[in-house]
Amino acid sequence: MDKLCIGNNTYIDSSCKLSGNIVIGNNCIIGPFNVLKNVTIGDNNDITSSYIEDSKIESNCDIGPFSHIRNNSLIMSNCRIGNYVEIKNSILHSGVKCAHLSYIGDCEIGEKTNIGCGVITANYDGKKKHHTKIGSSCFIGCNSVLIAPLEIKDNSFIAAGTVVTSSLEKNSFAISRTKLEIKERK
């Protein structure tokens, strides 16, 4: 039998769909058009127009709008998961920011790491899934692609538009760009 448990001072807006086992903590705002299935949500969370399934969100997080969190993901406290971010089978430690337009699959991200717009963890090689591990206090620039399996160690900086194909040591700076060629149109 499914279970629904909602804490004190939690508000659930209209047009939400809740199914399976749901636990929502105290002082949460579950905004309109959320779909929640088999989730545990801690205290003081704000979740807007998102799809969350088979996952756990700890406390003090800001999720959405239009986030998709699924398949055994754990979002620890004080995280920001924003517009059109998909997270699958991943752990995001406290203070991670992933504000918009990114895919985080089969990944672990350390505390206080910033994931820029359009970052992709390329986790599938056509036959099997691979894992990406990102350390604490890293900066992953916009439109970067991290091709798993790999590990990005603490305090690393990846410049926007970089394709990372091998692991990075602590305090690394990674940049990969081809030279821009501008040719006259005829």
Instruction: Report angle CA 146, 151, 152 to the nearest 5 degrees.
Output: 75
Has 93 been annotated as catalytic? no
Residue of 68, 93, 100, 130 with catalytic role = 100
Residues 6+ apart with CB under 8 A from 132: 106, 107, 108, 121, 123, 146, 148, 149, 150, 151, 152
- How many angstroms from the chain centroid is the CA of residue 88? 8
Q: Let me know how many helices (H) and strands (E) the chain has, helices first.
A: 0, 25
3-state secondary structure of 23: strand
Catalytic residue positions, numbered: 100
